[in-house]
Structure 1
Amino acid sequence: MSEPSQRPVASIVIPSFRGAERLPLLLDALADQQQGTPEFEVIVVIDGVDDGSVALLARERRLTLRTIQFPENRGRVAALNAGFEAAWGQVLIRCDDDLVPRPDYVAGHVTRHEGALCGVVGLYLNVYESSRYSEVYGYDADERFRRDAYAGNPTLGWRYWAGNCSVTRETWQRIGGYDPRYQLYGWEDIDFGYRLFLAGIPVVLLAELETPHRVAAVTTHIRAKRAAHSAAARRLFEAKFDDHPLPPAVPPWSAWNALVRGMAITLRRNPARAGHLADRVIPALPRPLAKKIVALVVESAAVAGYRYPHLAIERF
């Protein structure tokens, strides 16, 4: 497709893998942006599996939309880089396909870039299907995460770079794309955020850009899997940036952390089994005990993923 005679103000890049069930709500939300929203385009990158997404996107007439389809699955990093490289806008917004943006979403991202140079992050408002996991752990963990994020050192905002964020085109060209070496779950985001920090570009968290997120981690098993994969991916980040200011991956000694470390040894060959077992037993347990069980499995899976990356992730 040739470049338009007048570029849009913003480009929204959406990486999507098997997203046919998620995309309709997202497209509806983007089509319902408030009056006066700056002109924007939408670029959906289909990561190698067409589950009906291609036809769904071809029928979309409300949005200025382009589709990039990979012939095979190449991963989220490749999808993001392809989408941003194809973008024509001045403000480049990443929006994962499980988000449901509010009517001021695009305007909020664009407006913040009219001042000083920065990266912009809107935190997730995770929306769960009703489950014992979400009751005893999920919602509490999310609320604590957001509370700590806003209360933390503003210079560490780069740690929260994720699926609802934006930079200007000039910043993207200066920093470069997401690092394709990240193939497991997570840390390509923190890597990008840290490169912004090293370049002297602050990352700001905007509470008004918090966005509902139809979270995929709806069981202890899925949450533990992601914790193990993310912890294993952290090793690449640490190899690149040995002077990073992050807290240690393995928690300091305490009675609880001793239990976590010990459980991590047990889980190193099959953390999936512990996640499945927790999901079976927590419906029958009182809430405080169930919460502790989930926390133990998730935190232990993270330590196992970091200390024994090849063993911990191969059985998921």
Structure 2
Amino acid sequence: MISVIIPTYKNKEQLIKNLRHNLTYLEGCEVIIVNDYPQENLNKDLREFKEIILIQNAKNLGFGLTVNRGAGVAKNKYIMLLNSDVILSNARFKFPISSFEKNELLFAISFAQKEKGGKIVGKNKLFWKAGLMRHQKAADLNYGYNAWAEGGACLIDKDKFLRLGGFDQIYAPFYWEDIDLSYRAWKSGYEVIFDPNVIVEHHHESTIGKYFSSQTIKTISYRNQILFIWKNITDIKLLFSHLFFLFPNIIYFLIKREFSFSRGFFKALSKLNLVFQRRSSNKKTFIINDEKILKRFYE
């Protein structure tokens, strides 16, 4: 029923350590590892794991396209996205399958995640402020609507994932691609749920922070935040707000010496042609307006 997709980049030792641990709970699942670090062939290192499927990218594709490659060969009805730095403690991730069977609009279920200090996170909301789409942790951890299914620990209906085109490579190498995918699902009439009964251990950014500077991470994050708006927002009121606040936002971040925002803006501008292509394609499936979606996270 479940195909587990594990994207990996450079962190071979952690991947192998966690794989040995997690396979105990992945019995009966198809396990697909996609190596996004072409300079390092993992055939020898993973030889002991006879049951896994290994895909090795010929070039670095980033998180989104790496997961898409795994989804493209997955044989089962549901795909579970599992970062290589995520640790399972049981097989409760299989329980939510019944929710998909009861709700034909269900796109994904996002898991609760225990961070390094023991704090539980995973339920999030989106909100609009000063011309930008922003996100924050939800006020509770109850079962219910979630703004997005986190790309490191979630269960997704594979057919819906493929119908939406999977993750968008425009966000490569990382950040906002999982928010984007779930938002497109919301706008297409599907639902994303947070299930606190499935808990995994996940130390966020532990992999990305090893290989990218904080300034690079911030620049990519701001770039992708802007791309998300240009790609997906269709409500005229919100679009006008974005344009109205754009220059003041640039000035505001410059005064704060947060130069990553302006760098991210200009990097987003370089992808404007791709943005227009995506908007044209996405609007064909969008049936829910932005205001209605955002209200769901505050009901």
Pair in the same fold by TM > 0.5: yes
Secondary structure of the equivalent of 2:168? coil
Q: Given the two structures, how large is their TM-score scaled by the length of structure 1?
A: 0.65
Match of 2:33 among 41, 44, 47: 44
Give the aligned partner of residue 30 of structure 1: 22
Larger Rg: 1
Superimposed CA distance per residue, residues 25-75 of structure 1 (whole angstroms, 9 cap, x where no aligned partner)? 331233221xxx7721100011133546332222114xx310011122122
Q: CA deviation at 1:186?
A: 0.7
Instruction: Find the aligned partners of 2:188 and 2:213 in 1 and give their Cα distance.
Output: 35
- What do you get for the CA RMSD once the two structures are aligned? 3.9
Match of 2:154 among 155, 160, 165: 165
Change in Cα spacing, 1:98 to 1:153, as seen in structure 2 (3 Å) is: closer
Give the aligned partner of residue 284 of structure 1: none
Give the aligned partner of residue 202 of structure 1: 191
Match of 1:241 among 232, 242, 254: 232
Q: CA deviation at 1:262?
A: 5.0
Give the aligned partner of residue 176 of structure 2: 187
Change in Cα spacing, 1:152 to 1:104, as seen in structure 2 (3 Å) is: closer
Gaps of 5+ in 1: 1-8, 129-138, 269-300, 311-316
Give the aligned partner of residue 20 of structure 1: 12
AA aligned opposite 1:171: K
Secondary structure of the equivalent of 1:207? strand
Residues 1:68 and 2:55 are matched in the alignment: yes
Superimposed CA distance per residue, residues 234-289 of structure 1 (whole angstroms, 9 cap, x where no aligned partner)? 2221111123799x899x9xxxx9x973554x242xxxxxxxxxxxxxxxxxxxxx
Kept in 1, the 8 Å contact 2:5–2:31? The answer is yes
Kept in 2, the 8 Å contact 1:10–1:89? The answer is yes
AA aligned opposite 1:22: Q
Q: Given the two structures, how large is their TM-score scaled by the length of structure 2?
A: 0.68
Match of 1:226 among 217, 224, 227: 217
Kept in 2, the 8 Å contact 1:125–1:211? The answer is yes
Secondary structure of the equivalent of 2:84? coil
AA aligned opposite 2:197: E
Kept in 2, the 8 Å contact 1:19–1:53? The answer is no
Change in Cα spacing, 1:86 to 1:150, as seen in structure 2 (3 Å) is: farther
Between Structure 1 and Structure 2, which shows a larger proportion of helix residues?
1
Secondary structure of the equivalent of 2:43? helix
Superimposed CA distance per residue, residues 111-163 of structure 1 (whole angstroms, 9 cap, x where no aligned partner)? 443321311111432227xxxxxxxxxx8896997993253999862335322
Change in Cα spacing, 1:21 to 1:67, as seen in structure 2 (3 Å) is: same
Residues 1:213 and 2:202 are matched in the alignment: yes
Instruction: Find the aligned partners of 2:193 and 2:120 in 1 and give their Cα distance.
Output: 22
Instruction: Find the aligned partners of 2:84 and 2:149 in 1 and give their Cα distance.
Output: 18
AA aligned opposite 2:44: A
What are the residue-to-residue correspondences of 1:1-316 with 2, within 5 Å?
9-33=1-25, 39-51=28-40, 53-61=42-50, 64-117=51-104, 118=106, 119-127=108-116, 148-149=137-138, 151=140, 157-215=146-204, 216=206, 222=213, 225-243=216-234, 261=253, 263-264=255-256, 266-268=257-259, 301=260, 303-304=261-262, 306-307=264-265, 309=267
Instruction: Find the aligned partners of 1:55 and 1:105 in 2 and give their Cα distance.
Output: 31
Superimposed CA distance per residue, residues 83-132 of structure 1 (whole angstroms, 9 cap, x where no aligned partner)? 0010001111111111112212442343443321311111432227xxxx
AA aligned opposite 2:220: H
Secondary structure of the equivalent of 2:88? coil
Instruction: Find the aligned partners of 1:141 and 1:114 in 2 and give their Cα distance.
Output: 27
Change in Cα spacing, 1:108 to 1:56, as seen in structure 2 (3 Å) is: farther
Give the aligned partner of residue 272 of structure 1: none
Change in Cα spacing, 1:235 to 1:110, as seen in structure 2 (3 Å) is: same
Change in Cα spacing, 1:184 to 1:262, as seen in structure 2 (3 Å) is: same
Kept in 1, the 8 Å contact 2:123–2:194? The answer is no
AA aligned opposite 1:234: Q
Gaps of 5+ in 2: 126-135, 269-299
Secondary structure of the equivalent of 1:55? coil
Instruction: Find the aligned partners of 1:101 and 1:52 in 2 and give their Cα distance.
Output: 26
Instruction: Find the aligned partners of 1:141 and 1:224 in 2 and give their Cα distance.
Output: 27
Aligned length: 248
Instruction: Find the aligned partners of 1:73 and 1:160 in 2 and give their Cα distance.
Output: 24
AA aligned opposite 2:103: A
AA aligned opposite 2:75: W
